[in-house]
Amino acid sequence: MLILTCPCCGVTAEETEFHAGGEAHLKRFGPGSSEDEFHDYLFARENPKGVHFERWRHANGCGKWFLAARDTVTLEVYGTYPAQTHEPPQDIKDRISARHPGWTWREFA
Amino acid sequence: MSEPTSPLAGAKYEGFAGVVAMGLQGMISLRGDLGAEALGKAVKAVTGVDVPAPRRIAMKGETGAAWMSPDELLLLVPYADVATALERLHEMLAGTHFLAVDVSDARAMFSVDGQGVREIVAKLMPVDMRRQAFGEGDFRRTRMAQIPAALWMPQPDRVQIICFRSVAEYAFNLLKGAAAPGGEVGHLS
Ligand SMILES: [Zn+2]
């Protein structure tokens, strides 16, 4: 079972109290971008076996969006952090590195 | 004009705990900067309590305030006092960024009384209901089976639950099922 702690209200609950919102840290390509960039922005998603970064919403709770770093295999959660964050916080990256030395995910490592 | 009435007005069920569909309850959804002095004063004026800490509820007699999210409170006042309370809020918060709305008729409230109320909640909601994890003054928004719900324990062995009015019957039936005689688990006391 996936257990998440919402960084907005502090509640720790299993995943049915939340709603998954897809991949985190997407960079928007809109007007002025190339077709390839726009295509990738719309459709190209990471689908890793292991470290992953996602958006979640505390749907049956405080209602806020947040980001989560977790392992898609073990369901270990490396940390949750505010939606207004452009890059995973260092302490979360360190926790991932302890488990998966040399990990990468898009431009993060 | 028709008289306001609560959903399932006063419906009761006696299982190993008693379930009651409570009467009309005044509820005001208040959004704004919960740390702002003006908001704190307005909440105090209307409810008599300070802005509660995250995941907490503060009650004083029939009035109180529950923490809903980092920018939202649910104010509880007697049903008849909602209009006056709203007026007061709008007066005291004029010029600040806030939203205060009467949601009384959009909600339903239930009480569950008796030994084993913690078990009844635990059957229906993904909430740690051990005494050391959830106690008096705690307030939790979660889901009850398939619907959003919020709960608190005004006293030991009593739970109060708020949900949307449109799903009141579903909520009542859930609670009835969880409180049915023979359904005692005896794990949480
Ligand atoms: Zn939350």
Number of domains in chain A: 1
If one looks up domain B26-105 in CATH, what number appears?
Answer: 3.30.70.1520
Structure tokens at B137: 């003054």
Is A108 within a domain? no
d(Cα B170, Cα B105) in Å, to the nearest integer?
A: 17
pLDDT in tens, A8-59: 999 999 999 999 999 999 999 999 999 999 999 999 999 999 999 999 999 9
The interface predicted TM-score of the complex, written ipTM, equals 0.91
Chain centroid to CA B58 = 11
pTM: 0.93
List the domain range (segments joined by +) for residue A73.
19-99
Q: Give the pLDDT of chain B (189 residues) as one tens digit per residue.
A: 688 988 898 899 999 999 999 999 999 999 999 999 999 999 999 999 999 999 999 999 999 999 999 999 999 999 999 999 999 999 999 999 999 999 999 999 999 999 999 999 999 999 999 999 999 999 999 999 999 999 999 999 999 999 999 999 999 999 999 999 999 998 886
Domain B7-20+107-179 has CATH 3.30.1360.120: yes
Whose tokens are 């008729």? That residue is: B105
d(Cα B133, Cα B121) in Å, to the nearest integer?
A: 13
| Contacts with B140 from chain A: Cβ below 8 Å | 11
Is A104 within a domain? no
Is A106 within a domain? no
| Contacts with B55 from chain A: Cβ below 8 Å | 9-11
Whose tokens are 């008096």? That residue is: B136
CATH number of the structural domain spanning residue A84: 3.30.2270.10
B186 CA to centre of ligand 1 in angstroms: 30
Measured in angstroms, the CA of A12 and the nearest CA of chain B are apart by: 9
Amino acid at B81: D
Is A36 within a domain? yes
User: Is B53's Cβ below 8 Å from some Cβ in A?
Assistant: no
User: Is B56's Cβ below 8 Å from some Cβ in A?
Assistant: no
Question: Which DSSP letter does residue B2 get?
Answer: P
Which residues are placed with Cβ below 5 angstroms of ligand 1, an ion?
Answer: A 6, 8-9, 58, 61-62
d(Cα B182, Cα A21) in Å, to the nearest integer?
A: 40
